[in-house]
Amino acid sequence: MRRPTAVDLFAGAGGLSLGLEQAGFDVVACVERDPVHAAVHHFNFPKTKTLTASVTDVSGADLLDELGLDTVDLVAGGAPCQGFSLIGQRALEDPRNALVAEFVRLVVELDASYFVFENVKGLTVGKHRKFLRELYAEFEKHGYEIRSPWHVLNASHYGVPQSRERLFLIGGKRGLCVPSYPDPTHWPVEAPNQLQLHPAPPTCEDALGDIPDADSFDELRRIDEVEVSFLRPTSSYAAYLRGIERDPGDFSYPRDFDPRRLTASARTNHSGVTRTRFAATECGSVEPISRFFKLAPDGISNTLRAGTDSSRGAFTSPRPIHYRFDRCVTVREMARLHSYPDWFRFHRTKWHGAREVGNSVPPNLARAIGSALIDAMGLEPYVPSEVLRLGDPSLLGLTVQQASDYWGIENPISGRTLKGSYSKRTQAQVEAESVPCSTAE
């Protein structure tokens, strides 16, 4: 018995890392350029080697040498998707598409047996298919076979209470057993004929019904965590994420954490007018002024988005409205809708924390893909006996400058021009607005 090794590129806070670990992988290294997200990943995955760098600066040979390995079983990741250029004869040679080419390079240099590439479903539409065809050809040139056709998977089909579609490519070295895409385990109620075979995904109430209202705790105006008395779990989904029951399909390392603490729950100071509008909005519809979606207790969430980073205006992600309370959901509630367990921590600010959830692959979806790979490898997953202690809590509150100093790198947003209506703001102002007591909405 062994746990296969994986490297997570463009790792963010670690949704893909967690799903692969739950499937039975050991994520031995991750690469994340943003020092704030890298610090959060390091907190949650203390055994993983964290490289705070651009993938363009990472050498596969050097990483293998540092890890003491000759090869890895899997390289996974999704290059940032600000938009891919199709100008010129070869899309992969366009510098604006360089991160995808770097993904291919590292798969080859790490001599990975398998890879998983994740990205926006827009790459499968119209002229962007040219980009995918080139990506297939590039991998095939290096001796990899890709499962065809590519698949766009919806997280709600894999036990996530959220409609979220993403493109996945799965490939392996020629001659290995390349897995098929995982069959759906859940079907939305819009497909009643399928419900005879699979249950509907968890609902918003299944995910959130046991979490007390963050607005009931004054402490959450200043900090993001407080000791609470949770309500009785409304579903096995909530019980798994709370850690009350062990999910039989979860083969991750157990974490040592305090289940009495409600974390990632900094309050938002909505005005009375805003709260009145939110209360008057019907569940399952869009509030007409903010354009925020109001969750329905018996439905699933819309796609949770990340907003923008500091270099592109630092816009807050549009968190949906809670179905019961006249406020937007907290970061912890977003995490529940994304299938993160409660031990998993995020940056203490709503801005960074919401970005970390919205940018990530839902762990349950990543687990389904990882499980298909484990099956193709002919391995039997198991729960390790080692219980991991989470990292230093100070990692969860670092500003960009503090996180850069922690990792010993140059501040990645220093000197950049911030675009849009934020173009005249200084970096110091941006960071000041993302301290834990920030309640801007």
Catalytic residue, chosen from 30, 81, 283, 328, is 81
Q: What is the mean pLDDT of residues 188-204?
A: 77
Instruction: For residue 300, give the DSSP letter.
Output: -
Tokens of 387: 């219980």
Q: Which of 43-57, 324-338, 421-435 has the lowest mean pLDDT?
A: 421-435
Tokens of 381: 């997953």
Instruction: For residue 342, give the DSSP letter.
Output: T
Q: What is the pLDDT of residues 36-93, one digit of tens each?
A: 999 999 999 999 999 999 999 999 999 999 999 999 999 999 987 655 544 455 556 5
Name the strand (E) or helix (H) holding 145: strand 144-146
Q: What is the pLDDT of residues 102-159, one digit of tens each?
A: 999 999 999 999 999 999 888 888 777 888 888 999 999 999 999 999 999 999 999 9
196, pLDDT greater than 70: no
Strand pairing of 49-51 and 26-31? parallel
pLDDT of 90 reads 57
> How many residues does the structure list for the chain?
441
Looking at the chain, the whole-number percentage of residues with pLDDT higher than 70 is 85
Q: What is the pLDDT of residues 252-264, one digit of tens each?
A: 999 999 999 999 9
Q: Give exposure, 64-75, as e/b (b: 16+ Cβ within 10 Å).
A: beeeebeebbbb
Higher pLDDT pick, 311 / 12: 12
44, 15 Cβ separation under 8 angstroms: no
Nearest to 329 by CA among 214, 201, 223, 209: 214
Q: What is the mean pLDDT of residues 347-357?
A: 95
347, 353 Cβ separation under 8 angstroms: yes
Q: What angle do the packed helices 15-23 and 363-377 form, to 10 degrees?
A: 40
pLDDT of 188 reads 75
Tokens of 364: 């349950």
Instruction: For residue 150, give the DSSP letter.
Output: -
pLDDT band with cut points at 50, 70 and 90 for residue 414: low
Looking at the chain, the whole-number percentage of residues with pLDDT higher than 90 is 77
103, 79 Cβ separation under 8 angstroms: yes
pLDDT band with cut points at 50, 70 and 90 for residue 191: low
In sequence order, the β-bridge partners of residue 119 are: 167
Got the DSSP string for 200-222? PPPPHHHHHTTSPPGGG-GGGGT
Tokens of 126: 């119209």
CA pair distance 353, 345, nearest whole angstrom:
9
CA pair distance 423, 441, nearest whole angstrom:
19
pLDDT band with cut points at 50, 70 and 90 for residue 94: low
Mean pLDDT of the chain: 88
In sequence order, the β-bridge partners of residue 76 are: 8, 116
Tokens of 385: 């006996």
**Alpha-helical regions (H) of 339-387:** 350-358, 363-377
Which backbone phi and psi does 206 adopt, to 5 degrees? -55, -40
Residue 2, number of CB atoms within 10 A of its CB: 11
Provide the residue ranges of all domains of the chain, joining segments of one domain with +: 5-190+361-389
Q: Give exposure, 336-347, as e/b (b: 16+ Cβ within 10 Å).
A: bbbbbbbbbbbb
Whether 81 sits among the annotated catalytic residues: the reply is yes
Strand pairing of 74-77 and 5-9? parallel
Q: Which of 83-97, 180-194, 292-306, 324-338 has the lowest mean pLDDT?
A: 83-97
Got the DSSP string for 7-55? EEES-TTSHHHHHHHHHT-EEEEEE-S-HHHHHHHHHH-TTSEEE-S-G
Q: Which of 26-35, 278-287, 409-418, 420-429 has the lowest mean pLDDT?
A: 420-429
415, pLDDT greater than 60: no
Q: What is the mean pLDDT of residues 402-427?
A: 66
The one-letter code for the residue type at 440 is A
The one-letter code for the residue type at 274 is T
Tokens of 246: 């062990």
219, pLDDT greater than 70: yes
Q: What is the mean pLDDT of residues 395-409?
A: 97
CA angle 170, 194, 335 (to 5 degrees): 60
Q: Which of 155-159, 259-263, 364-368, 430-434 has the lowest mean pLDDT?
A: 430-434
Topology of the domain comprising 5-190+361-389: Rossmann fold (3.40.50)
Nearest to 153 by CA among 182, 125, 189, 179: 182
pLDDT band with cut points at 50, 70 and 90 for residue 370: very high
In the three-class reduction of DSSP (H, G, I as helix; E, B as strand; rest coil), residue 417 is classed as: coil
217, pLDDT greater than 70: yes
Contacts 24+ apart (CB under 8 A), 101-104: 101/138, 102/55, 102/56, 103/9, 103/55, 103/75, 103/77, 103/79, 104/135, 104/138, 104/139, 104/142
